[in-house]
Every structure is written in structure tokens, then in C-alpha cells.
Structure 1
């Protein structure tokens, strides 16, 4: 999105005739440029922000509006920088300071309001993650945080972060940091070569645009979730807008053609999210749709024609919405998610959705009136080169205080009252025959709700990891053994097997065995790629098979099934069975573990919302698990372990068992619960190894 702290942001330069010299002929210094206010830009910004809000609230798809913001940012930025270079030089310190002045205060207001509202209404199980993302949002690194977490942007609202939408502002902030440097380098290059500044800047932008677009195509095909949040896959959208700004005054089209272009851009943008199935292919080439729509509207400009699209874009309502589009974008997402949380809904109807939009517009209008406009008119921070930096730092102080207080509260509440397997917290042990509970009748829940999402198995913390001489294969030692010839158990597969490690470790420690891992997220052990379409997963598994066949461990532990969901969708892919057979040919036994369920919503959040034991959090076992996991073609070296009786009771699959949360999100076991599976899993492992 583009900041609207100054309405003058919608001013673009008229290029001097000598701006783009003929090939091989150095251009004279361009004449000073003059500004021309383009109201259709404000209308285009309003349309893009409305589409983002409406699509998020009611349609649940990507609209393409954010891509329009990126184009407009590049379109407006290059003129400001070139005008500065024509006046003498680009002051990077001052340029970055002005950017901070525009972006930081409204962003801080929204983040502070979101933190306070989250403390009141957000489930404690989501506090820790939200705290981290508030910090990354305030530092313009949220997109990289989401990329590292492999967040699915199209996830259900209840599992999304209330500040997740700051990913686009983060990319915009990074562009504002790097783009002026790029222009400065181009200007210096032009002066060194005696070439035209604008032609040199244009050449550099063409190269950057081509490289970024090519990278976007490649990464989207290889890893779409990473590509969605990756800064380099979006650079071409900014630089294409900048290129357009350099040449737009040389484009002289008939009025009737400009009218057609304007409507093509507007209609194309409005229909983008409906016409395109972007969930698996954005950004990639599909991002060209909204980008080219924005270009079409900008080329059309203000025609003054009675039948033109710009006549509507320049109408007063859209002009006003354009002026508040920046805070509107920032406010609408946390308002939506918190409204759904308070009303216990998974999607807003027309009434709630309308209330969300009205509230977001009101908050945006207040932010514009009380923050953006006063700052635009104020002389505070303008008196010195570093004044805007001091203003931004002072603005951040209240947010820092609020975040520190929230962190303190979270730290206190995260202290566990007990350990997995003690009398108060038997976990899966309580599902064994003859079990009698002897703990406290009001025992606390483990892990505490506020730290449930952090209950991961950090199997790399010991530092005993090494990359093997195979593609994309890392081996870590989870449990060491004093005897170098001790039997080795290899746990291989995806993050579900990572979370299963605490069930394996106790018997290994007791018997002096070693446990190593060959783990790659979202990549179950198979001869194919079961969950992602990239070749990397298949390469990892082929390397794992080769390494295991060569080292011949005492046992391999892997997934026996996948996709355990409501609707009885569980299956054992042929690639699983083939991988087990390949190990059998090498004389390696396999313990295949039936997978745990996956849910549409996160059980810990449900417990936070409705309370422990609430019927709303119970899922019928018969809707998830068939009575038996049948794998008739399993090779003789494979023993299947079915833990469904430990994860579910005869009728339900609950979010907690034996006072321990079963899941940390919507599909991963908590490390605490997994540890209580050890009494069931240990004897099965020992039986196979001792056989």
C-alpha cells in the first residue's frame, strides 16, 4: 500500500524532452521538471484498498490490490528521486527520514491498538506468535518472518496472525530503503559515463525488472508460499511502475483509446480475484494481471470524457477513500480477525462484514485526521537532517512499552505448573487400560495456553548436525550414545515425525541407543513428493533412502499415513510403501506410525475461547479415523504402530488428554503430549530392535 500522509504523493513529473537521448548520444542535463497532480491515482488507490478489504472480508481470496499499491509506490518514488538528482544530489539520509515520517506513526498507532485489543480478546495460545510478529511488523521484516514460518496466506482466519497483512508494508519499507540507493548508483554511473541520467536509470530499472520477474516465475514454481512473501519476487512490480513514470509523458494516445484502457484496467482489477485461481500461483506470472491493470489506468490518465473510468475514479467519495487508503489497509485485518474471535465465527456474514468495514473506515478516518494530517502540516522533526528519525523513535516508545508489558505478562503465564507424565499430567498414559487418575482435580493445563504454540521439538539445539554428501539432506543427533557401535534409530520424514521424537527418546536413553534425524518440513518419507510439487522433496527422500541403505541403522521410524482429516481422508501413499520396501531390500526394519489428525481450526485456540472440556472443541473420532489402518501391501520389514487410541477416546478426538494439550496448532502434536506416548511407543521399538 502507499502512504497517504501527503496528498502531494500523487504528483508525478513531466519528463523533459531530452530525458531519453538517442542511442550513443549523451543527453544534456534535463530541464527542471514540474509536478502535475493526477487525481485518478488517488481513485486507483481507493479502488485497490476497497478490493483488498472486500475480498478479505467476504470472498476470502487475493484481490490483486496490494500489487497495485506496489506499482503506485514505484511510479511515484522515481520522480521524487530524479527531481532531487536534478537539483544537485539525492540526500539518502533525508529521503529515508521522510519515508519513516510517513510510514511509522500510522503503523505504530495501528500496532498499538492491535496489541491492546489482542490482550483483551485474542486467545492466549496466540499471544507469543502475535508478540513476535508485532515486533517484525514494526521493523519492516514481517514478510521474512512469515516466509520463515512457511505461513499459508490462504489459511483460515482463526489461525492467521492479526498483523499478518503487514507483510506488504514490510516489502514497501524495504523498497523505500533500497530503491534510492539503486537510483543513486545509476545517477553516479550516468555522470561517470557522460550519459543521460534518465536513460541510465531506465536501463538499470529494465535489468532489475527482468531479473526480479524471472526470479518470481522460478520461485513461485519451486516454493509458492516462500515466493508470496519474498521481497525479490515483488521488486519488478515496483520497478515497472517506476519505468512507466519515466516514459508516461511520451505516451500520446487518442482519447477514445485511453477511455478503453481505463475501463480495461478497472474492470480487470475488479475481476482479478474472481477470474484467477491465484492460491497456488501467486505472485509468478499471475501477478501480471493486477500490475498491468494498474498500468492501463495510469496510461489512460484523466481523459475528461463523460464515459471514462477516470470520471468515477476522480469522484469525491473515491478521492476521500484514497486519502485514507493507507490506514484503512492497516486497520481492516485486525478488526476483521478480532471481530471473528469475539463473535466465535469462522467467516463474517453481511451484517458482521459490513460492521467490520464501517469500523475500519472510521478508524482509518480518525488516523488520517489525528495522525497523518497533523504530522504532514507540523514542522516537528523537519528542522534537522536527523529530525524525522528522532520523531519516528519517539513515536515507537509507546508501542515498545506496551509490547514489553505484554511480554512480561506472557512470560509469567508461560511458567509451567508441572511436567509431562507427573501425577497431575498423565497425558496419553491416561488412555491405557486400567489407568486410575490420582492427581489434583483442578490440575493446570500443560503446556500453558500462552506457550502452547512454542511447544516444538527443537531437535537442532544440541548443535550436532551435519550436511550429508547428498542433495538437501541434513542429519542431526537427537540422543547420543557413548558406545560408537550402539544401535541407531533414524527418525525420518516431516515435522510430524519431528514432534514424535519425545516418544522415541526415552527408550533410547534407557537402553544406550542413538537417535538421529533426517527431517525436512512438509516432506514425509516417500519415493515421491506427497505434499509439495517441487523436486526438492523427492531429492531429499532419495538421498535419505541411499544414506539409510548404506549405514543400515537398527530401525527407521517414519509416517504410516497422511492427511488425517474430517471426512475420512487418511491414506497411505504408494510412495510410502515403496520407500519402506527399498529399506527392506537393504535389511533395515521400519516402524511406521499412523499419523495424527489435522483440523481446520487450532484446538488450543478453541480451548482458550470456549474453555476446557467444551463441546465446541470435540471432533467425532468416527469422522476422522477409520477403525483400522489397513496397508495390505506393507513389506515384511515394516511394523505399523496405530496410536489413534492414545490420541482419541472411543468417541471423540479432544484437544486435551490427561491435562495436556494434544496439539500446538491445527496439526502438530505438542512436545509435552508426545513425551507421554513413550510408554506405548518404547516397547514397540524395543521389540523390533531386539527381534
Structure 2
């Protein structure tokens, strides 16, 4: 499972028919069918939840089931709100309380269980991010947390979060809290214009649906990672369900057509995730497929025909699965990820997959029977605005207590036991000729595993600040200040690998009174070409960097010498790199090109967490990653360029290990920790000094 895995979502809406009176707030979900109750709605929810679980466990893809839940949420909410507006009984504050009462108890139970299980089975290196996402999930903001990470190059993770699936619940929670306000405002404006409440709501949802759909198509084409989690790109799916609720009374297809529509909808949903590239193409126009499939089932309704799909959806098993669909969705994802972690597997296989599904079903049934149903009965006995809010507070308090306790434990474990350079923590110095280790065995790692991912170089806060030249293409920051304005300047240009290389350069600069500047942009190595996809700004940034260097003439430019060091000897020096070195060389500026560090399929720190320090599974043969020497580009190196090969400091003679000298080498799957980078200073400093002093 990788960070690109995107779990579908579910939302536990009231199960009232969109054309019938709303269910009383506390009515238990397992009571006999009510007048106007549409069993195919419950069955559709069951089908969607089953598809979500099966696709995640055995297919390894998302199913489109999230879109079904979005449609159902809008379908049910619009009918209830419109009827309340027509009767003058729309109480937004009371509805918010009912929404919180429905959602938060089961959510709190799952979050509590997930946090406790994560303490046992989740690698400590993944604790901080999990805690951040737990906090976001409790306030219906997980989708924005993931959206921010999607556009933040430095926030990319190599593993999916155990609470990542709360993103869709967050969107639907936002909708449930904001849509009643929008309906109330639309009805008020409609009355001033002489329109009925239904007409006003219809205009509202029609405008929102069209606007959101266009926005979703455009953003998906330009930034699919952001679009996937963005509320604005998903809103049209909820309001499409609302449109259907307002029009369903007028849709009266013939019985034969209803039978066809029902089966087309069911069959279309089953194959959606197999036929469409849901992972790479949603939520653009491709989302029309599951949305229209759900709409087809809802239009078909309860036909009564013995061969209709609604007979299948109305079966007792489907109705029960629909009742537990919300807790089933909440439980299945953490059960899946933690089971894989505990068993050290990447895929569950038939037996483990069946066990995961069975466990999720048992937990869902217990949550529905012991949490949701009793609270529903209690709400029926204690109607009123305040009850839902009291339940919400009672549900969130234990989550907060456990989360704060986990955070305190994380803080304690993140406190370093020692410092770089002491006898226990030589880092890369252990690879120096004649070095004799005199520290303790074993010694604690630096940085501690629980803090490893945060061991970034925060270069913008280190020196005298940053300037944009020209805005907003090129950002120049001062990492090491110099008292003498005429002091030589060293400029590091490129991507985040150059960012992490700064601690290796800083000591010699401070010792000699030199200045260290940065021209860094994530995922943009210094090149005249386009080595990274999805980064159209790189070409403009690098051209601006070349012009800046030509104008300022620093004493030395440091940049990447190669890229894509992976298993299979894939390392290359792109022609664009060489051209960039030549371009600054024309101004008489020397270049130190640094051979890149390896990239892995998963974070080595997580491997240590899982298998233990020194485990063979965490060792990668050096010969699989590095050729003996960096291949010289055709035509040789430019006269102004020399190569710094640190492979002997990052790897030993046989392996490229996750730690060196009791210091973690990598903070994720491809970036050096700031701590390890600092340990490279004795090797890097003399090379830098020789080039600046010549």
C-alpha cells in the first residue's frame, strides 16, 4: 500500500425516503420498514460498502463506491431539508446536533481502536503523521489535510495512513453542516423573489452542481492529486443526488424500463473500478459513471417485479449490511493496513483477506449494536437541540485524551539520546580510513525513529531570510550569513536533495566566514531540460537561476550530478544537467556536482521499525544501486565542473544500509536526514574549500 492509495468513503445519513417524512431523530435503524421507506436505498448503500471493502482488500483499487455514498447523502439530505423548509420547520442548529450525534460516536470508537492498535503494530516513524490525521479526522478536515499533503512535495509519504479513509467522511460532514445553511439562505431569497422553497433549493443545487462539475474536470486535468481530495471537486456528486431527490416525484418510467435501469445501475457499479482508471482519472468526468449508476438504481426504485434488482437490494442480508455500512467502512481500512503491517505483507491474499473482512464485519456489527443503536434509542427518549451536542462532546473527550497521551509518548521518544559526533554517533565518519568505533554497542539511533520524518533541513529559517528574484519564479535564501559583505558565496541550486545537503556544506562555510545561499525548488533539479513530470515551473526557475548566477558570480555552485539511483542501476546524468553546468561555466563559475543518494520503494526507517536494526531485509546490495563510478556524459565533464561521489560514505563495501554509525541515513524513501548529512561535513568540507580557495 502506498501513499497514492485512496480509500473510498461512506456516510451514515438518515435512512428516510427522500419523498417521505423524515425518520424521527432517534428511531432505531433495525425497526420494521416505515411507510415510504425505500429498501433499495439501504441495499444500494450495502452494495457500495461491499464493493469498497472487497476492492480494497483483494483488488488493490478503489471501486467508485465513494461516489455512491456522495449521491445518497445529497439525495437524502435534500429531501429532508426541502420538506422542512416547506413546512417552516427547518432548524439548522437542531439538525447539526443530529448530524454530530449520528457521526461522532462510531467515529470516536473507531479512532480510539485505531490509535490503540497503532501503538502496538504501527512503526513509530509513522506515529506523528497518524496523529496529525487523527486530529484532522475528528473535525471533518482529513480531506484538506490530504489535499495539502498532495500539493506539498515535502509532505509526500511512502505509506497510506490508517485513518486516510476519513477523507470522504470529512467531505460529507462538511456538506451535512453547510448544506442546511445554504438551503435556508436559498429559501429566504426565493421567498423574496416569490419562488417556492422547492424551486429555490432546485436552483441552488443546479448552480452548484454545474459549477462544481466544471471545476472538478478542470482541476483533475491539471492536478489530479489535489482534485481527488478537494471538497469543491466532489460537491457536484452530492448535489447531483439532491437534484435527483427534487425530481424523483416527476420521474415515472414504465415498469420494464425500471427493471432495466435497476440492473444497469447495479452491474455498472460492480465493474466500475475494473473498467475505469479510478485511481488516475477521478473525480473528473469519469465520476459520472458511478453517479449515473447510483441514480439509475434510485430512479428504478422499488418496482415489485420479481426479476428486478431491487429484489436483491431489499433482501434481508443486504438490508443488514446497509445498516452496518457506516461502521464497516470505518473499520475495514485500519484493519486492513494494520493486518498487513503485523504480518509483514504487501498484499493480504485469500485467507488473510477473508479474515480482514470477517473482522471488519464483526467490529461493525458490534459498533452498530453497542453504540449506534443504544444512542438512537436514547435520542428518541431525549429529543431536543442539546442532546446531539452532549453526545458529540462525550464521544470526542476520550479521543482527545488518548491522542494527547500518544502525543506525549511520541514527544518523549523523539528526544535524542546523545548528539552527532559523540562516541556513540559518528554517522558517516565511521567510513573514514582508520576510524575506530569507541562508542557503546548498541547505541540509540539519531534521530529517533519516531522523529525521523521531521529531520528536514529548514533552510528558510536558518539565516537572514529569503527574497524572490524575480517574483515568484526564483527564491533565494541565506542559509549561512557572513560578517564580511565581500565574503565568497556558495550557492546550492536544485531540488530537495540539495536542501538536505546543506548541513554538509555549512561547517566549512562558518569556519571560513563564507556565505551559503540557496536557489531551491522541490522536485526541480538544476537543469536546462525537464526531468520531472508535473512541474512546469521548473524550466522557468532554472533559467532564472542561471541568469542569477551569471549576474552575481558566486565562488561556487553546488548541484546534483545524477538522479534516479534505484535498484537495477538506473542512475543517469541527464544532458540538461550538463547544459546547466556549462551555462554557469560561461560566466567563470565553478560547479561541484554531487552524485545523488539512493531512492527506495519504501522508507528504510520503517523497515527498521518493522524488522529491527541490522535486519537483512533492510539491506540493499550496493551493486544493485551504484555502478563503480558515475558514468561520464558524452563529451566529458565541462571544464568548470568536478564530481563529488559520496557513495562510499552512504554505503559500505557491500550494502547501502538504513543506518550508518548509529545515525539514520534516510528520513523517508529518498531524502537524507539532516543529521546524517551533517556527518558528511568532514568529507565535503575539504572538497568545497579546495574549489573556493583556488
The TM-score normalised by the length of structure 2 is 0.92
Determine the structure 2 residue equivalent to 1:18: none
**Paired residues, what number?**
670
Change (3 A) 1:295 1:563: farther
- For 2:577 and 2:35, locate their aligned partners in 1 and report how far apart those are by CA, in whole Å: 64
Deviation at 1:643, TM superposition (A): 1.5
- The CA deviation string for residues 651-689 of structure 1, in whole angstroms up to 9 with x for no partner, is 111111110111112222111111111112222222222
Change (3 A) 1:97 1:585: farther
- For 2:578 and 2:79, locate their aligned partners in 1 and report how far apart those are by CA, in whole Å: 61
Equivalent in 662, 665, 679 of residue 659 of structure 1? 662
- For 1:152 and 1:326, locate their aligned partners in 2 and report how far apart those are by CA, in whole Å: 31
SS in 2 for 1:595: coil
Determine the structure 1 residue equivalent to 2:4: none
Moved more, 364-373 or 524-533: 524-533
Q: Is the 8 A contact 1:429 1:679 kept in 2?
A: yes
Determine the structure 2 residue equivalent to 1:9: 15
Determine the structure 1 residue equivalent to 2:30: none
Give the ranges of 4+ consecutive aligned residues of structure 1 lying more than 6 Å apart after TM superposition.
155-158
SS in 2 for 1:476: strand
Determine the structure 2 residue equivalent to 1:467: 468
- For 1:539 and 1:96, locate their aligned partners in 2 and report how far apart those are by CA, in whole Å: 48
Determine the structure 1 residue equivalent to 2:3: none
Deviation at 1:578, TM superposition (A): 2.9
Gaps of 5+ in 2: 1-8, 22-33
Determine the structure 1 residue equivalent to 2:293: 293
Determine the structure 1 residue equivalent to 2:688: 685
Deviation at 1:35, TM superposition (A): 7.5
1:153-302 correspondence runs (5 A): 159-302=159-302
Moved more, 406-415 or 376-385: 376-385
1:90-489 correspondence runs (5 A): 90-150=90-150, 159-379=159-379, 382-462=382-462, 464-489=465-490
SS in 1 for 2:459: coil
Determine the structure 2 residue equivalent to 1:649: 652
Change (3 A) 1:563 1:108: same
Deviation at 1:10, TM superposition (A): 4.2
Q: Is the 8 A contact 2:157 2:668 kept in 1?
A: no
Deviation at 1:277, TM superposition (A): 2.4
Q: Is the 8 A contact 1:219 1:227 kept in 2?
A: yes
1:12-31 correspondence runs (5 A): 12-13=18-19
Change (3 A) 1:309 1:473: farther
- For 2:575 and 2:301, locate their aligned partners in 1 and report how far apart those are by CA, in whole Å: 57
- The CA deviation string for residues 137-185 of structure 1, in whole angstroms up to 9 with x for no partner, is 11211122222223899x9998221111111111111222222222122
Q: Is the 8 A contact 1:568 1:625 kept in 2?
A: yes
- For 1:534 and 1:580, locate their aligned partners in 2 and report how far apart those are by CA, in whole Å: 21
- For 1:470 and 1:330, locate their aligned partners in 2 and report how far apart those are by CA, in whole Å: 45
Change (3 A) 1:539 1:263: farther
- For 1:529 and 1:237, locate their aligned partners in 2 and report how far apart those are by CA, in whole Å: 36
- For 1:427 and 1:202, locate their aligned partners in 2 and report how far apart those are by CA, in whole Å: 65
Deviation at 1:358, TM superposition (A): 0.4
Q: Is the 8 A contact 2:259 2:303 kept in 1?
A: yes
Q: Is the 8 A contact 2:11 2:69 kept in 1?
A: no
Change (3 A) 1:466 1:290: farther
Moved more, 103-112 or 477-486: 477-486
Deviation at 1:2, TM superposition (A): 4.3
Change (3 A) 1:96 1:276: same
- For 1:656 and 1:168, locate their aligned partners in 2 and report how far apart those are by CA, in whole Å: 38
Deviation at 1:431, TM superposition (A): 1.4
- For 1:210 and 1:36, locate their aligned partners in 2 and report how far apart those are by CA, in whole Å: 30
Q: Is the 8 A contact 1:10 1:39 kept in 2?
A: no
- For 1:635 and 1:363, locate their aligned partners in 2 and report how far apart those are by CA, in whole Å: 65
1:47-62 correspondence runs (5 A): 47-62=47-62
Q: Is the 8 A contact 1:98 1:388 kept in 2?
A: yes
The TM-score normalised by the length of structure 1 is 0.92
- The CA deviation string for residues 212-233 of structure 1, in whole angstroms up to 9 with x for no partner, is 2222222222222222222212
- For 1:390 and 1:410, locate their aligned partners in 2 and report how far apart those are by CA, in whole Å: 30
Deviation at 1:605, TM superposition (A): 1.4
SS in 2 for 1:72: helix
Q: Is the 8 A contact 1:495 1:519 kept in 2?
A: yes
Deviation at 1:592, TM superposition (A): 2.2
- The CA deviation string for residues 401-437 of structure 1, in whole angstroms up to 9 with x for no partner, is 1112212211111110111222211111111222211
Change (3 A) 1:600 1:514: same
Change (3 A) 1:89 1:554: farther
Q: Is the 8 A contact 2:82 2:201 kept in 1?
A: no
- The CA deviation string for residues 280-301 of structure 1, in whole angstroms up to 9 with x for no partner, is 3322222222222222222222
SS in 1 for 2:184: helix
Q: Is the 8 A contact 1:221 1:534 kept in 2?
A: no
Determine the structure 1 residue equivalent to 2:581: 580
- For 1:267 and 1:503, locate their aligned partners in 2 and report how far apart those are by CA, in whole Å: 59
- The CA deviation string for residues 573-625 of structure 1, in whole angstroms up to 9 with x for no partner, is 33333333333334433322222222122211111121111111111112222
- For 1:242 and 1:282, locate their aligned partners in 2 and report how far apart those are by CA, in whole Å: 21
Change (3 A) 1:411 1:317: same
Change (3 A) 1:537 1:104: farther
Change (3 A) 1:383 1:269: closer
1:88 equivalenced with 2:70 (yes/no): no
SS in 1 for 2:379: coil
Gaps of 5+ in 1: 16-33
- The CA deviation string for residues 519-542 of structure 1, in whole angstroms up to 9 with x for no partner, is 332333333443332423333333
Determine the structure 1 residue equivalent to 2:640: 637
